[in-house]
Amino acid sequence: MTSTSNKSRLAIIFFTVFLYLVGFGVVIPIIPILSRNFGATALQTGLLLSVYSLMQFLFSPFWGRLSDRLGRRPILLFCLFGEGLSYILFAWARSLEWLFIARLLAGFFGASLSTASAYISDITPKHERSKGMALIGAAFGLGFVVGPALGGGLATWGHHINPEPHFDTSFSAYWVAALCFANFLFGIKFLTESLSEKSESAEKKKRFSVMWHYLNVKTVGPLMTVFLLCSLAMSSMEATLILFMGEKFLWDVKQVSFGFAYIGVIIVFTQGFLVRRLLPKWGERKVLRLGLTLFALGLTSIAVSGSIGAMAVAMTLLSLGNGLSNPSILGSISLLTDTKEQGVTLGVTQSMASLGRIIGPALGGALYGAVAITAPFWASGTLAFLGLAIALVIYKFIPEHGRVG
- State residue 213's pLDDT score: 82
- State residue 46's pLDDT score: 63
- State residue 204's pLDDT score: 47
- State residue 64's pLDDT score: 83
Considering only CA atoms, give the Rg of the chain.
20
Greatest CA span in the chain, whole angstroms?
63
Long-range CB contact pairs, 235-238, < 8 A, 24+: 235/356, 235/357, 235/359, 235/360, 235/361, 235/364, 236/360, 236/361, 236/363, 236/364, 236/367, 236/376, 236/379, 236/380, 236/383, 237/299, 237/302, 237/318, 237/364, 237/376, 237/377, 237/380, 238/360, 238/361
What's the rounded Cα separation, in Å, for the pair 224 and 326? 11
Contact at 8 Å (CB) between 265 and 257? no
One digit per residue, the tens of pLDDT, for the chain of length 405 reads 455 466 677 777 787 778 777 877 777 767 766 776 787 765 676 677 778 888 887 888 788 888 888 888 899 999 989 999 999 999 998 888 999 999 999 989 988 877 887 888 787 776 666 666 667 766 766 776 677 777 767 777 887 888 887 787 788 889 889 988 988 888 888 777 877 665 544 444 566 677 788 888 888 899 999 999 999 998 888 777 777 887 888 876 556 666 766 777 787 788 778 888 888 888 888 899 999 999 999 999 999 998 999 999 999 999 899 889 988 888 888 888 877 777 678 778 877 887 888 888 778 877 887 888 899 999 999 999 999 999 999 998 887 765 554
- State residue 69's pLDDT score: 85
What's the rounded Cα separation, in Å, for the pair 186 and 73? 12
What's the rounded Cα separation, in Å, for the pair 119 and 189? 17
